[in-house]
Amino acid sequence: MERADRLLLLVAELRGAAPEPLRPRELAERLGAGERTVRRDLELLAAGGLPVRAGPGGGHVLEEPPRPVVGEAESLTGPVRDTLVEAVRSRRVVRLVYTDRSGTRTLRDVEASGLVTAPYGEYLVGWCLTREGPRNFRVDRIGAAYLAGRDARVRELEELLAVLRVPLPRPPSAPDRRRGPGGARAWTLERVERVRGRLREEAAEVRDGREGAAALRAVAGHLAEWTRWQAAAVRAAATGAEPVLEGRRPPFPRAFGRATTYAARERMIQDAIAPRSLAEVLRDLQQVLEGVAHWAAGCDDALWEGELPDPRPYGPPGGPRPLAELLAGPRGPVAHVEWHLDRLGGEAAPEVRGVERCPLRP
């Protein structure tokens, strides 16, 4: 691996783990490099302006610097979005470390054309030289970026915008927002976006020093796996296809698939997320909810008109209900997240034991 790519991946690993520290040994294992090499790279990046400081236990923590990007060297050590803005402004090629929805991470060279705000997040739009085609990249999935030193060619705007043509929800206006395919879809998407916003607020409060990081981590890990299953089960019931599990699942032992009790599964979930930082767990849950929103925005109108069997965690399917109710109504994946978030702020704020009171528990 070339040194420039290794430095880029190193920054992505530190940024992805923040605010949790990473030890040089952990970084070396993730990058497939020697520990001495990683230590030298950290020293080089720190000397170049990367705001990395020593954390507890010999680890390193990356802090985002409040300063603009100027040139190629500063772009590697500066905030990702500032690098993207500079790439668009100066019509430059930018090299990215990008993690897609399935959790696959790749290095991409992109001719940056613009930043677009859409209902589900902010995107970099450009021509991907690695894949030789127009692409959009979720900004919050870009782990690191730097200006590669090449000018971007002028591309046809229509060709670039084609990758963003996703059905956009209209805000519900009728009093009964669940009536009709359009209203049901909009109501569902509104609920999903509100829950995603609440998750971002909870994460921001913990980062600002509020107690409760352990509780949020335990609940987010619980929600990521159960909500992933709930959403996949609803989609499978609606389409008749095999379940599609969104996000980036942690590895589970073989016994997980054979577990027959809620308590046994929950213990395995908490064990599986133990090596992950709070930021990683929250990112996984956000990806699951993002997958719900994208599918709901683009699925067939006919699915919103009838009723579907209600998949349950245990036992036979429940009685038929409309798709909007299955996704965002009682016992649905969106309401499941809301239920736990409502209890995070009260006097009975949960630690790991909080997930034992989950409404999904039989």
Same domain, 335 and 214: yes
- Could you say which of 121, 137, 165 is where a domain stops? 165
- Grouped pLDDT means (10 residues each) for the chain, 362 residues: 78 79 86 86 78 76 61 72 86 87 81 75 84 83 84 65 45 41 81 87 69 82 91 90 89 81 84 89 92 89 86 73 88 87 56 61 67
Which CA distances in Å does 16 have to 111, 141, 182, 282? 24, 9, 37, 11
Residue 216's identity, in one-letter code, is L
Same domain, 145 and 188: no
Residue 9: per-residue pLDDT: 84
- Could you say which of 165, 192, 216 is where a domain stops? 165
Q: Is residue 242 part of a domain?
A: yes
| Among 296, 288, 215, CA closest to 250 | 288
Q: Is residue 308 part of a domain?
A: yes
Same domain, 232 and 317: yes
Q: Is residue 97 part of a domain?
A: yes
Instruction: Kindly report each contact of residues 23-27 with a partner whose C-beta sits within 8 Å and lies 24 or more positions away, as own/partner.
Output: 23/57, 23/58, 23/59, 23/60, 24/58, 24/60, 26/59, 27/60
Residue range of the domain that includes 29: 1-63
Q: What angle do CA 262, 267, 272 make, to 5 degrees?
A: 125
Residue 64: per-residue pLDDT: 62
Residue 175: per-residue pLDDT: 32
Contact 104, 294 (CB under 8 A): no
Residue 347: per-residue pLDDT: 37
Q: What is the CB neighbour count within 10 angstroms for residue 290?
A: 21
Q: Is residue 71 part of a domain?
A: no
Same domain, 145 and 38: no
The total number of structural domains in the chain stands at: 3
Which CATH number characterizes residue 20's domain? 1.10.10.10
Residue 231: per-residue pLDDT: 92
Q: Is residue 74 part of a domain?
A: no
Residue 13: per-residue pLDDT: 83
Q: Is residue 155 part of a domain?
A: yes
Which CATH number characterizes residue 156's domain? 2.30.30
What pTM, to 2 d.p., does this model score?
0.51
Same domain, 337 and 286: yes
Same domain, 32 and 103: no
DSSP state of 180: S
